[in-house]
Structure 1
Amino acid sequence: MKPLKVIVMVDDYNYSHTYRTMRNQRLIAGLLLSLAFLLTVVNASCQIDESLSFEASYTSDFVNSPYSTLNTGNAYMGVIDLATTLNTEAANLWKGGEFYFHMENTHGATPSADLVGDLQVFSNIDNGDYTYLYQLWYKQTWGDFSIIVGNHDLNSEFVASEYAAEYINSSFGIMPSVSMNVLVSIFPKPCLGSVLQYNVSNRSVFKAAIYEGDPLCLDDEPYNTSFSLNMDDGFLSIGEYAYSLTLSEHLTGTYHVGAYYHSKACNDISNSELQHEGNYGYYFIADQMLTKSSSGNKSLAGFLKIGVAPEDRNEYPFFWSLGFNYYAPFTKRSNDIFGLALASLSINENLVGSDKPYQYNYEQVIECFYKTPVTKNITIQPEVQYIINPGAIASNNNTAIGLVRTYINF
């Protein structure tokens, strides 16, 4: 039997769309990796102006899913990040200015959709084959006050936990009670926004931001360079207050409370003829050091994340996650981390039933990892995730996933 080929007609020319896309993405990925290596050589051998800094990294996941419902087998995916920062003060232009340019290439499989069918997406680099502008913004600082304007990732400033950021499942990044209920400027498609920050004191910070109402997707804007505003999509506003405290001499912690509002009208969950003027929700995040040795290396830290949204207009009205990170678990491995966490996403009860979109009222994930540096520039993170009620659908089995993440910083 001959293999099936997908043919796309564009301006009277035939293209093998799948093959062409894979070939182009592999070529671009190779070029970007070559550029990352070149930047490394330049940084190591040349004197670069202090006003410019370069960052290059490659992150990859190898996934083994032997018992998943949709398909079984292995998958690979990766993301290349290239970023440049220009400090205007170091460049003798003006004080307090910073330009930031960040591009990405993602490639490989999309295993959440093709293998597991989970809602929360078990890998935070799962995206498919794209090359695009990720962030492009300018930041100006005046003392305790700053403003950012441009294409910006909301999750880099809001709804973020220091300790939860060690985990790979997407739900430990931005809460799905936010990102799955309203359109948000996050990976892989940030959009135009503006962020205001005021450092109230040494311990407290207030942030507020406004973003486009619909970032669209990379299929609609393949390179994310449109920079156009559509007021019909409304806007997303968000505010967060963070307070840092010390329980004892070494046990520091940071606590965040936040709220968001999307101005576009949305349908009522139980009555499709009823519309609400907008959508909103609240969240709380706690990062706390629990124990710390006198040497300062061995420590135990925990995090708690809670998100709530009104049930009358949201499919996912409640989310919580809890985790513990053990730093330097072995005396001679001071940079290693062991982590164990649980995340739980609740489904709106009006959508749960034998004849409804969902048959379970929650999806949960347990993630356990061990992260260790191999060299100065390479870190590996083997882990296991166990997903309970993937997709909250009765036909999907609980799934165990083996995953090895590799971080390469050039």
Structure 2
Amino acid sequence: MNTLSIRLLGSLLLGAILPAYGSTLTGDWGGLRHQLDEQGIKFTGDYSGETAYNAHGGQHRSARYSQNIKLGVQLDLGKLYGLHNGDKIQLTVNDRRGNSASEDLVGNRLPIQENYGGLYTRLTELSYERTLFTPALNLKLGYMAMGNDLGGLDSGILCNFMNAGFCGHPLNMSGGSGWTNYPNAHLGARVKYDFSPAWQLRVAAFNVDPQSNGNSSRAWHVGPKHTTGTVVPIELVYKHASELPGEYKLGYYYDSSNVQRIGSDKHVSGRGGHYLLIDQALWNSQTSEGRTLHAFGQYSAASKAASPFSRWYGAGLVLYKPFAGRPRDTVALGYGRAVPNPRSRDVLQQAAEASDNAFPNLDSAEQLLELSYGYQATPWLILRPDVQYIIEPGAFSGEKIDNALILGLQVKATF
């Protein structure tokens, strides 16, 4: 083991047993972390743990816990080798463990814990990024998750919530196409072009391979096993910087895969969808800097032929710095509505009738109300008490399930 390795190991152990300072739990590793960053090697890491207790309704009264640990390193090739086009290499690994409150306790479609799913260690990103020809054109290619660059709001406003219906991209995008949820990764390429400081176009192409990263046996295989097609998202982004800034995204995606139609033996070639995402500041305090109120909105529609999740609507408010003495805290309130495809509902009803079972008279959608408070306990630790009320949890399964009240706690730590 060389001197640098010994020093790094010692610094990590020291950071783990001594009080943390600065913006990360493990601190500056005795100055080594800052030194490596200056040389072009930046280490990152974070933990999220989410506990959810079903206090009323649903199927079972109990609690479930899930967690995600993410470790990464970014190589700045400009600092390391003198390249001049913003060249970067990103390596990220994720590990997920735990149990699902939605699956075990409630029976609903929108995951109560956004970090549940794919309970194994996997390669999440191995990518190369640089500007191309002009600073306005940025290229990123490699093995990566689609949602890193497309489908969500760059501001991060949606991850003030614990339910996956809000945090990330609209879930019907992955429910009815080759678009996959983080941390699933695929081979692909993404291009961003800045028309102006306010307007940007993003275009990408990703390999569609259901047996790749979403299967634990393929967690470290970069190459695809069985390609079914290519998914191509196109996204127009508008951001305006003013006293009341805003971010707007209009997107379309198309998956060329040949898949079976819902409720039919026939196949359809190609699945698509579109979405609109908004984050707009509504109010800034004139007496307390940093206190601001933002509104967000989401709309997404997916293929009626092949998606069991046809539409998603979401809206809400986030108040930053709710109290003068808590500059980094947040209060978030959101409402979401997930609409099942009528074809899927017909399939469930026909199956119930074929088994001589009564089919419940359900409303048209699963609905979600969520209220959370983000408490910045330290610069590296966030505690987020959370309340979710889920209306018509059985809308996607065709089951009569009582509305559920969920009490949760999300913990986020930056290493």
Fold-level similarity (TM above 0.5): yes
- Please report how far the alpha carbon of residue 373 of structure 1 lies from its aligned counterpart in structure 2 after TM superposition: 0.7
Q: 1:60 corresponds to which residue?
A: 49
Residue 390 of structure 2, aligned match among 379, 387, 390: 387
How many angstroms apart in 1 are the aligned matches of 2:214 and 2:146? 21
Report the CA distance shift for 1:388/1:356 in structure 2 as closer, same or farther (over 3 A). Answer: farther
Q: 2:191 corresponds to which residue?
A: 196
- The alignment-based identity, stated in percent, is 23
How many angstroms apart in 2 are the aligned matches of 1:71 and 1:218? 32
Equivalences, count: 375
Amino acid at match of 1:160: G
Task: Tell me the alpha carbon deviations over residues 265-321 of structure 1, each in whole angstroms, 9 at most, x when there is no partner.
Answer: 223335x13322110011111110000112431111001110112423332221110
How many angstroms apart in 1 are the aligned matches of 2:83 and 2:384? 42
How many angstroms apart in 1 are the aligned matches of 2:61 and 2:151? 33
Is the contact made by 1:110 and 1:128 (CA closer than 8 Å) also made in structure 2? no
Structure 1 residue 86 corresponds to structure 2 residue 75:
yes
- Please report how far the alpha carbon of residue 408 of structure 1 lies from its aligned counterpart in structure 2 after TM superposition: 1.0
How many angstroms apart in 2 are the aligned matches of 1:214 and 1:228? 10
Amino acid at match of 2:74: T
Task: Tell me the alpha carbon deviations over residues 7-60 of structure 1, each in whole angstroms, 9 at most, x when there is no partner.
Answer: xxxxxxxxxxxxxxxxxxxxxxxxxx9799499366343232520111111111
Is the contact made by 2:199 and 2:237 (CA closer than 8 Å) also made in structure 1? yes
Residue 270 of structure 2, aligned match among 274, 278, 290: 278
- Please report how far the alpha carbon of residue 155 of structure 1 lies from its aligned counterpart in structure 2 after TM superposition: 1.1
How many angstroms apart in 1 are the aligned matches of 2:93 and 2:305? 38
TM-score normalised by L of structure 2: 0.84
Which stretch shifts more, 287-296 or 376-385? 287-296
Aligned 1:66-215 pairs, distance under 5 A: 66-95=55-84, 96-127=86-117, 129-142=119-132, 143-161=135-153, 162=155, 163-172=157-166, 173-215=168-210
Amino acid at match of 1:53: K
Report the CA distance shift for 1:329/1:243 in structure 2 as closer, same or farther (over 3 A). Answer: same
Residue 301 of structure 2, aligned match among 300, 308, 312: 308
Q: Which runs of 5+ in 2 are unaligned?
A: 1-11, 18-24, 352-358
Residue 405 of structure 1, aligned match among 378, 388, 410: 410
Is the contact made by 1:106 and 1:127 (CA closer than 8 Å) also made in structure 2? yes
Amino acid at match of 1:85: Q
Is the contact made by 2:211 and 2:225 (CA closer than 8 Å) also made in structure 1? no
> Would you identify which runs of 4 or more consecutive aligned residues in structure 1 move more than 6 Å?
33-36
Is the contact made by 1:68 and 1:115 (CA closer than 8 Å) also made in structure 2? no
Q: 1:362 corresponds to which residue?
A: 365
How many angstroms apart in 2 are the aligned matches of 1:231 and 1:147? 26
Amino acid at match of 2:392: N
Task: Tell me the alpha carbon deviations over residues 341-395 of structure 1, each in whole angstroms, 9 at most, x when there is no partner.
Answer: 0111111223326724784421111110000111122110001001111131332
Structure 1 residue 45 corresponds to structure 2 residue 45:
no
- Please report how far the alpha carbon of residue 223 of structure 1 lies from its aligned counterpart in structure 2 after TM superposition: 5.7
Q: Which runs of 5+ in 1 are unaligned?
A: 1-32
TM-score normalised by L of structure 1: 0.85
RMSD value over aligned CA atoms? Answer: 2.3
